[in-house]
Structure 1
Amino acid sequence: MAVSPRPDDADDPGAVFRHPGRHRVAVFVLPGVIPFELGIPLRIFGNARSAEDDRKLYEIVTCGVTPGRVRTDADFDIVVEHGVEALAEADTVVVPASHELGPVFTDGVLSPELAAAFARFRPGARTVSICTGSFLIAAAGLLDGRPATTHWSSADHFQRLFPRVKVDPDVLYVDDGDVLTSAGVAAGIDVCLHIVRRDFGTAVANAVARRTVVPPHREGGQAQFIRRPLPEPQLASTERARSWALDRLHEPLTLRQLAERESMSVRTFTRRFREEVGTSPGQWLTQRRVEHARHLLESTDLGIDAVARQAGFGTAACMRQHLQAALGVSPSTYRRTFHVTARP
């Protein structure tokens, strides 16, 4: 699968990134790359467009240790035009999974050529792994002392190989600022949508999700995909309670109210909820309220107090605390950045 130069590249055939002003994404591929994971960044970031003028918001290039043919784990190869020079110019580097990690997977050690490639990363660039791509960035030392995740089936091995990493095997992705790691396979979609949401707001991310025909936000974590023996032939669902709560985010909902919607005790409901969604009812409710507050801050001119009430936080101080914890910014700062009338 070769990539042909675009017409607007003809005047600068040696350039890697050709569109000043766009966020530059380099997808770093190795032999044995899994085609599904390889295609996720292009599909998600490539569909992110400005709501005002429909311009593309990211420029994406694929690179390898050297330009040329790269094996995949399928019955076809790909051809990449760029080598490690693309890493030096990228704002974000995405490392998809590969089935040929060799000593990286067995011993946690980078080869000299991979160590040299990681040394080319631009200072301040964001690094993102998809699935077992996390082994590469951990071997490069980028995850030492930091939280991270990987495919659930490799999580124990990952933790043994990299004891300084704080591994969370239950989540779909971990955002630790300039380094993000995602769980297996399709969780790469989740982390890339999260990045679009972080960079350009909920409205842009939701539009990408619609074009890609995926949910803008998946419930729970990867714990729900791990096969475990069920204690009963069939578990009751908590879906009705969740749907009921989403229509009443502005109300002061209690755990007992949610449990009553499913005719369960609070204890049983809490256990079933965590088994089904991957988090506690309280954490889930807070996440949904944060997302609703973000939407209101982006798309309306409601005052901060009104947004806090409609999102179910009650007071601006309470909302400020939760947004600061989830996003690292205050409601006012978030609005200045992402309000539809404030974007370039």
Structure 2
Amino acid sequence: MKALMCRAFGPISDLKLEDVADPAPGAGQVVIRVEAASINFPDALIVQGLYQFKPPLPFSPGAELAGTVHAVGEGVRHLKAGDRVIASTGHGGFAELCVADAARVAPLPAGMDFELGAAFVLTYGTSLHALQQIAKLQAGETLLVLGAAGGVGLAAIEIAKAMGARVIAAASTADKLALCKQLGADEVINYEEEDLRKRVDALTDGNGADVVYDPVGGRYSEVALRATAWRGRFLVVGFAAGEIPKLPLNLALLKERAILGVFWGDAVRRDPAQHLANMKQLAAWFAEGKVKPFISERVSLADAAHGIARMAARQVKGKVVVLPGI
């Protein structure tokens, strides 16, 4: 099979498309024929050795995918060859075939094609977990989303609206903000041209945002924390800007704010039943037309490394999908 391979941690440009042996499933695993996979920011980190965990070398990046079950390992009862599925694998998705733990594989939701399925699990799973289990976002509350035109940002907008919240989307360009409005944001802020804190204050009558969703880090995190309401919740989702901010803890004390970490991947491992419930909720919202991944680009396996590099440089909107068949 063909696969985009990482043979040493280093620059994204070192990734190469290679012919490698077809994988076989172990006990409790399946092999999936990949119809589509999507690029996520952790893909850029994992190949550079900068992510929370490091897969054994060599490996193929690609954390989420959709396809058909090709082979089933010992002990797997709920899946069979030919099943149309979605999966979150952590890595291995940028290949024609991918091994996945059966517990991390679910049926492709009704009415969803492979491309949408490949863009669904990680971003929507992360955002629902963050907003529902961690922040406990309530209907009528105000959510501020940083980096709102990225994959998890757009998912957060749609999910928050489905939960009955008001959404303020913050991003760096007019076209990104237009996309946020298209997907349901109530208000938008260009934080490259406007004072983020003053605009949040103006949009909330001086109260601040009840919840901040921050997948970006960098220089806007402290500003957003200062724009959080009394007993507001600040979600630490990721650091797409490349800088891990050092937040003054007195800002938490002054308004009894909570700074909360979000590590969806480990949450899935620790509580698979909650993950399953979340995916059922998301599938129901998809069927109702409340959530739908925004796919901005489709690329081949040969072009996937370039897509990862552009993701790392924050040059993409929504999701970029990799199609092994083109």
Could you tell me the TM-score, scaled by structure 2's length? 0.30
Question: RCO (CA 8 Å, sep 6+): is it higher in 1 or 2?
Answer: 2
Higher strand share: 2
| Larger of the two Rg values belongs to structure | 1
Could you tell me the TM-score, scaled by structure 1's length? 0.29
Higher helix share: 1
